[in-house]
Amino acid sequence: KDLALCDSIQSLSDFTSTMSWLEARGLGGIFGSFIYADQMDVSTNILYLAQGGISLPDESYYREDQYAEIRSAFLTHVQTMFSLVGIAGGADLAAKILKLETQLASHHFDAVKDRDATLTYNKMSRDQVIALMPAFDFELYLSSGEIPAVVLDSVIVQQPPFFQGLSSILSAFDRDSWVAWLKWNIISGSAPYLSSALVDQNFAFYGKTLSGTPELRQRWKRAVSVVEGSLGEAVGKVYVEQHFPSEAKRRMEELVANLIQAYRISINAIDWMSQETKLKALEKLGKFTPKIGYPNKWRDYSALETSPSDLFANIGHVTKFQRNFELAKIGKAVDREEWHMTPQTVNAYYNPVMNEIVFPAAILQPPFFALGADDAVNYGGIGAVIGHEIGHGFDDQGSKYDGDGVLNNWWSDGDRAAFELRSNALIAQYNQLRPEEVPDITVNGALTVGENIGDLGGLAIAYKAYQISLADKPSPVIDGLTGEQRLFLGWAQVWRGKVRPEEQRRRIATDPHSPNEFRCNTIVSNFTPFYDAFGVSAKDALWLDEKSRVQIW
């Protein structure tokens, strides 16, 4: 039905209305859109528009020689997918799609620009958005996608050059290419929920070719992922009831308080920041809001329609339910109780516009945390995670937001320059690192600098908090290891893992996190207490000359 709808497209207006209608059902969006707090007025939600329209992980996949084989595999994959749904001429259609997506990708911000909080904040009126892309009927897009334009006084456009480029491409509307692209998006977006042949072919490219994963997960595991993605907080409520003791939350609250106190001491002690800026940093730190375990109020799913016999229809219902939930926020007050991760997610995050640090229940388990574990190991694990998330409030981008979450420069020019001098030294270090899995490429220091600052500060503050917890007493020796040594071993345990070469290559291009080997080893190489704990000398592999070590917080 959706594919047949595409055949009726004759004009750019037809394409716009059809694309928007399909996007509302989770298929075929030409650019991204989401609802989030206005970064200059954090009490109110606003619509954000973001670059999109591509099938490969990143714009670099369309232009760099190292991805030529992936582009070739993509052509074969698209051709095969068209064949599986009974559409002839797949090779020609695939070529049209790749050409079109290459044009779109040429207007994308690269991964470094795309994480810049200032560059991606461009607030515009509706008239300005319309003027930005004159070939695209923005009003038709809104009405066809059932977006409540009546409350859409302003929009934040994250990458204006993309939308200008999109308008230029659409002005020479190539009907056959755009219809092929739209059909491809319908097929690809639906594939995980259709026949085994489509599921397998979809995995062959996105799983094997792009990530190196040798085999598809068992069906029951994929089913669990669908339920989690659809009913995340409903699953989370059950998880918390069964796996999150109140003592874990109490202990976590204590650790967070200790880490914030350690950060306070560290800010007061740094020698490169003026007293005026220190006071503003301390003010921001004092306004941090920790969220631990699970939300105070759970999502209500009672309006979600489901059928026990129709998976594909259920996916559509979930998309509609979630879209309506998001669209209802436009122009409304921000819900400060909302979580953007489920309790069963093994992760944590810092939200700059809320100035909050969030720790889902599932991260409070080994190797990050264990109720019965030695304090040193817990400080090296979850303590460093807490320090890392606090540190995001003071990294290269988070530091652009004040204590109320507003995108507001609270630094003096001299202090910002001193901060950037240290950040640039860290960028230069990471630019030299070659991952074990793909030694032909290097880490992108500029892309990963925010996370690297978080890691560096996280470990340093966790170490300081552990020292404070000892109350001037020597750390206990356990199994022949001092507390300091056990803290660093706890840190190392967190980063143990294996990544396939294909996936590591993808991450280097797109992921703002460095490979785990460097998140562990490069960080301790910059941290003098590590040298003291293990007696590291110039003959050891992790030695870094003292003048080359970077310390920020």
**How far apart, in whole angstroms, are the C-alpha atoms of residue 262 and residue 541?**
30
Q: What are the residue ranges of helices labelled H in 85-159?
A: 90-105, 111-114, 126-132, 138-144
**How far apart, in whole angstroms, are the C-alpha atoms of residue 420 and residue 431?**
16
Band of pLDDT at residue 295, cut at 50, 70 and 90:
very high
Residue 359 and residue 408 in contact, taking contact as beta carbons nearer than 8 Å: no
Query: Of 375, 316, 374, 369, which is closest to residue 346 (Cα–Cα)?
Result: 369
| Statement: residue 136 has pLDDT above 80 | yes
Mean pLDDT of the chain: 96
| Statement: residue 513 has pLDDT above 70 | yes
DSSP character at residue 473: S
The share of the chain scoring above pLDDT 70, in percent, equals 99
Band of pLDDT at residue 543, cut at 50, 70 and 90:
very high
Section 330-348 average pLDDT: 96
The fold of the 2-216 domain, in CATH, is Neutral endopeptidase; domain 2 (1.10.1380)
Q: Pairing between strand 289-293 and 356-360?
A: parallel
Query: 3-class DSSP state for residue 350?
Result: strand
| Statement: residue 227 has pLDDT above 70 | yes
Band of pLDDT at residue 147, cut at 50, 70 and 90:
confident
**How far apart, in whole angstroms, are the C-alpha atoms of residue 349 and residue 328?**
24
Query: Of 320, 349, 336, which is closest to residue 230 (Cα–Cα)?
Result: 320
| Statement: residue 151 has pLDDT above 80 | no
Query: How is 41-63 classified by DSSP, letter by letter?
Result: EEEEEEEEEE----SSSSGGGGT
| Statement: residue 146 has pLDDT above 90 | no
15 Cβ contact partners less than 8 Å away, ≥ 6 residues apart = 9, 173, 175, 178, 179, 182
pLDDT at res. 57:
97
- 265-289: burial string, b at 16+ Cβ within 10 Å, e else: ebbeeeeebeeebeebbeebbeebe
| Statement: residue 325 has pLDDT above 90 | yes
Residue 36's H or E segment, with its range, is strand 32-38
Band of pLDDT at residue 402, cut at 50, 70 and 90:
very high
Query: How is 210-244 classified by DSSP, letter by letter?
Result: HH---SPPPHHHHHHHHHHHHSHHHHHHHHHHHH-
- Each residue of 48-63: pLDDT tens digit? 999 999 999 999 999 9
- Each residue of 46-102: pLDDT tens digit? 999 999 999 999 999 999 999 999 999 999 999 999 999 999 999 999 999 999 999
Band of pLDDT at residue 1, cut at 50, 70 and 90:
confident
pLDDT at res. 55:
98
**How far apart, in whole angstroms, are the C-alpha atoms of residue 161 and residue 166?**
8
Query: Of 459, 434, 449, 436, which is closest to residue 528 (Cα–Cα)?
Result: 459
Ordered by start, the domain boundaries in the chain are 2-216, 244-296+337-548
- Each residue of 418-454: pLDDT tens digit? 999 999 999 999 999 999 999 999 999 999 999 999 9
| Statement: residue 154 has pLDDT above 90 | yes
Phi-psi category of residue 53: left, alpha or beta, with phi > 0 → left and psi -120 to 50 → alpha: left
Please provide the CATH number assigned to the domain covering 244-296+337-548: 3.40.390.10
pLDDT at res. 140:
95
Query: How is 239-296 classified by DSSP, letter by letter?
Result: HHHHH--HHHHHHHHHHHHHHHHHHHHHHHH-SSS-HHHHHHHHHHHHT-EEEEES-S
pLDDT at res. 150:
66
399 Cβ contact partners less than 8 Å away, ≥ 6 residues apart = 393, 411, 419
Phi-psi category of residue 373: left, alpha or beta, with phi > 0 → left and psi -120 to 50 → alpha: beta
pLDDT at res. 28:
80
Section 469-486 average pLDDT: 95
pLDDT at res. 148:
78
- Each residue of 12-48: pLDDT tens digit? 999 999 999 999 998 989 999 999 999 999 999 999 9
pLDDT at res. 105:
99
